[in-house]
Amino acid sequence: MCAVFLALLGVGQAVLARHRAGAAADLAALAAADTALRGPGTACAEARRVAAAQRTTLVRCAVTGEVSDVSVAARAGPFEPRVRARAGPVNVSPR
């Protein structure tokens, strides 16, 4: 019975970490896209700040024109899911 409980607890931790990483990735991508015209360095610094505010880590940040592409990781116990998100203007086609 304890083993089942611990397994469910572990799965719950992993799911929560994945959702937290997803939300943080979305917010970081939006923040980077919002500041993309100031340069990639500024945009990625803003994405890093937003990710840190969500208790996650910015793993990768790329800005091309007005489009940002970020990856964020969230640690929860032994789990560290990574999520990728893109943001930019609607009229820009993805590359």
Q: For residue 50, what are the contacts with CB-CB under 8 A and spacing of at least 6?
A: 24, 27, 28, 31
Identify the pLDDT of residue 92.
58
Residue 9: the pLDDT is 76
Q: Assign 11 a pLDDT band (cuts: 50, 70, 90).
A: confident
For each of the domains in the chain, give its residue range(s) and CATH number, in order of start. 2-87 (3.30.1300)
Residue of 27 and 77 predicted with greater confidence:
27
CA distances from 33 to 3, 9, 20, 69, 79 (A): 45, 36, 20, 9, 28
Per residue in 36-50, pLDDT (tens digit) is: 999 999 999 999 999
